[in-house]
Amino acid sequence: MMISLYKAELKDASKIHEIQVKSFMPLLEKYKDYETSPANESVERIAERINQSFTDYYIIKSSEIAVGGIRIVKKENKLFRVSPIFVRDFELFPYSMDAINRLRSSYICPHASDAGCECHKPKPGLLIKAAQDHQLDLTRCAVIGDVGSTDMMAADAVGAIKVIVMTGYMTGWRKESLEVYRHKWSNVEPDFIAPDFLEAAKWLVSKMGKRFQKTFNPLHN
């Protein structure tokens, strides 16, 4: 059983609504909970939630076919709430559990930058933990990051492919990483400098070739 998660956009509201209605309709018909059942929600309500800054919707796909959805609500103190998660048929329920496990595979250092831990970049502790959890060969993985003195140094420590991107929050900082602060990671050379994440992905695909694409695992910071 192989699934993938795709972050939903506003244009996906109708598809999410279609799957959500089909998933919850048997419960609505049984319990008649018209005021609270997700099966009775409008597509406009789902579109409204997709636009919320504290909400992320993901479409669960199997073999590129949408089979379910999951909504993640960001709470305070780095807590998250799943509300709801659904699949279109009961026999597909294991897909929802796989989706939860994938979303839980986030690796965040909880320590201060001067704590001396092994998980705060440029230390590679979190990359090593991810490799152990998912049986990854880090030399066949890529780290895509925006700061040379942390992301690229951590990638270099484990022999991963190093891609630095120039977009995202505080774009000027990315340029300074390559110029003003280049001396802080002068012993590390990025394998590719990408103007944005899409170009980074294109470069990786072209570099690896069709044979390698099947086993390639991108680790995005």
All structural domains of the chain, each given as residue ranges with its CATH number in brackets, are 4-104 (3.40.630.30), 125-220 (3.40.50.1000)
Q: How many other C-beta atoms are found inside a 10 Å radius of the C-beta of residue 43?
A: 15
State the DSSP H helix or E strand holding residue 93, giving kind and residue range, or none if neither.
Answer: helix 93-104
Quickly count: other Cβ atoms within 10 Å of residue 217's Cβ: 15
Mean pLDDT of the chain: 80
Backbone angles phi, psi at 139, to 5 degrees: -75, -10
Which one has a higher pLDDT value, 126 or 30?
126
**Cis amide linkage into residue 218, ω under 30° from 0:** no
Task: Examine the pLDDT at 6 and tell me if it is beyond 70.
Answer: yes
pTM, to two decimals: 0.52
Q: Among the listed ranges 27-31, 91-95, 96-100, 154-158, which one has the minimum average pLDDT value?
A: 91-95
Residue 142 structure tokens: 């890529």
Q: In the chain, pLDDT over 70 holds for what percent of residues?
A: 79
Of 6-20, 25-39, 95-109, 124-138, minimum mean pLDDT range: 95-109
pLDDT value of position 207: 75
Checking if the pLDDT of 79 tops 50, the result is: yes
Q: Can you give the C-alpha Rg of the chain in angstroms?
A: 20
pLDDT greater than 60 at residue 213: no
The pLDDT assigned to 122 comes to: 94
